[in-house]
Amino acid sequence: MHKTTGSISSLLGAFQMADVSMRYSQFIPRVYNLALSLGFEAGKIMPSRAFCSDESQGYPIILIAKHFGSFPFNHGLVGGIVATDRHGPHAQHGQDLFIIQASHVGYDPKTKHFGTYRRLQTKKQNETSNCGKICGALDWYLNEYNFAYNNIYLIKENGKTKIIIDNQLLHMQREEGLMLKLEQFVEVDECGIPVPETSLSTSKIFTVSPNLNKYLEDYQWKTQAEVIGHRLHPDLFYFKRNISEHPEGRDHLEKNLINVMPYIVTSKWPALTAAQANTQIEFDRAFRSISQDPSYKGKKVFFISGLNVDISPQKEQLFPLTKFIPWAAYVQDEYGEQQTWEQAELFEKLIKQSTENPDQINLEAAIEIMQGTKEIRLPF
């Protein structure tokens, strides 16, 4: 079943971006200092990340290792899904536990386009989809939306507003596809059944409902049929898709997104909106599992969720200029006291922290020490 659109638009609209984004080189020392302010002990913090497996996530991982003094535990699945069955091992690996979850989206500053990333290791440094998992999941929905976008027509005949709908979109018994909320599109009879005025070879003509006329109140109706296009509002349709309900399985990302998908496919940047929505949904799911997992009882836990924006590397850059957009955080102490910080509160706490971290390690020096240490031969 599709959720009410009011709750969906409210969820997406609550996510602020431009005013709260910060460079990873500033975010990580700030979040480390914030952890210390919560009573976390330097040298006893086990960081963990639930990131996608994309190489563009490497730079944030390096910074986590540099500032927390430990390579982060891998808590994530492709697409930025939290692997909740890894809570136990993570809890065993440190005294104080820090977890960061982030979906990610690429950004090309030249084209000002979200959803792509320049792959330096390809032959011609091609730009490909980013996050590939999210963009791959969106393809089917975007194709369905584009079909409806181009196969619903608006027309004015004899002073009446009418709509022409392709027969495929009227087939409500389909197991998969974009499903129109027909009662909002067309006039219905006393039994609530849409009755076409005219049946054509591949479509039907209906009188437009008062509800749709409200959505189209700024539209200049024409006597020649015109595609509905971007006027196909997300409140007017939903998707049906055969996806696995198995948690953290192959289709977990689609399961997260299907109810918000009408807003995703109609947004200016679908990949960005999808990554945002997945971050919001994963935080809500993961913080509940963390707060209830017995492995974390009696331990300090700091879980933060947000969005990684991978700005494609430019000339002479090896890594992306990644930015982090915080969404929410969950904090518990060793006595079981719990707090949840919403976006504004979390950002305020982060921005007050210093970007200086005296505890950060010199990765190159650490590697040199390892290289210079006398070899230990294994007993076989």
Q: How many other CB atoms are there within 10 angstroms of residue 378's CB atom? A: 4
- Model pLDDT for residues 20-65, shown as the tens digit of each residue: 999 999 999 999 999 999 999 999 999 999 999 999 999 999 999 9
Q: How many other CB atoms are there within 10 angstroms of residue 327's CB atom? A: 26
**What residues form DSSP beta bridges with 309?**
105, 323
Q: 41: which 2 tokens?
A: 């002990």
Burial class for 190, CB neighbours closer than 10 Å (0-12, 13-18, 19+):
exposed
Name the DSSP class of 175.
Answer: S
- The Cα–Cα gap between 196 and 137 comes to 35
Cα–chain-centroid distance for residue 101?
11
Given this model, what pLDDT does residue 123 score?
A: 87
pLDDT under 70: residue ranges of the chain: 1-9
pTM of the predicted structure, to 2 decimals = 0.91
- The Cα–Cα gap between 371 and 363 comes to 12
Given this model, what pLDDT does residue 121 score?
A: 86
Residue whose structure tokens are 């386009």 = 113
**DSSP alpha helices (H): ranges in the chain?**
5-13, 24-37, 58-68, 87-92, 132-151, 167-170, 182-185, 210-215, 252-257, 261-265, 270-292, 343-351, 363-372
Given this model, what pLDDT does residue 7 score?
A: 67
Task: Decide: 8 and 58 in contact? Cβ < 8 Å.
Answer: no
Name the DSSP class of 186.
Answer: B
- The Cα–Cα gap between 138 and 161 comes to 33
Task: Decide: 154 and 163 in contact? Cβ < 8 Å.
Answer: yes
Q: Give the HSE-up count for residue 253: Cα atoms under 13 Å, Cβ half-sphere.
A: 22
Q: 31: which 2 tokens?
A: 């979040």
